[in-house]
Amino acid sequence: MLTICDTHALVFWGLEPDRLSGLARETMARGREEGDLACCDISFWEVALLFARGRLTPPLTATEFMHLLTDELRLSVLPITPEIATLSQSDVMSHKDPADRLIAATALHHRAPLVTADDKLHALQALHCVW
C-alpha cells in the first residue's frame, strides 16, 4: 500500500531520525523496504525553500539532499494532477498552508496514509495520518 510522507518527515529521516515517532519511523522503513513510499512533488519545493532560507544546512546542496532522500527511501515523487489541485481547494481542506493542502490532497486522492506530525492535518477527518 502506498504511503505518503509530509516534507518534515522526509527531512527528519534524512537529518534527525530521532525526531520521528516510533510509528512514523517503522512506517517509513516498511514503505522503503516494500518500495511504496512517496511524496508530493511540492515537498521538494519546500526543501529547497528551507535551504534557501538557511533553515537546513547539511554538508551538501539542496539538490544532493533531495536526490539522497529519493534514493535512500526508494521514494516515488507524485505530481500535482488537476484532480489533486481541485481537491486541495475543496471544503474538505481546512489547513491554510497551500503546500500542506496539496500534500493532504495527494494522500486523499491516492487513498494513502500520510506520515505527518502536523496537528492541523491530523484534524482532517477524511485523512488517515500516521505519527
Domain boundaries in the chain?
Answer: 3-130
For 13, 27, 63, 96, the CA distances from 70, given in Å and listed in that order, are 11, 16, 11, 27
Query: What is the rounded CA–CA span in Å between residue 9 and residue 13?
Result: 6
- Residue of 128, 99, 95 lying closest to 114 (CA atoms): 128
Does domain 3-130 match CATH 3.40.50.1010? yes
Sheet holding 114-115, edge to edge: 76-78, 37-40, 3-5, 114-115, 129-130
92 falls in which pLDDT band (50, 70, 90)?
Answer: confident
The pLDDT of residue 93: 78
Average pLDDT over residues 25-52: 97
How much of the chain, in percent, has pLDDT values that exceed 90? 92
Mean pLDDT of the chain: 95
Q: What is the Cα 111 distance to its own chain's centre?
A: 14
The pLDDT of residue 91: 82
The pLDDT of residue 13: 97
Average pLDDT over residues 93-100: 85
How much of the chain, in percent, has pLDDT values that exceed 70? 99
Element (H, E) at 129: strand 129-130
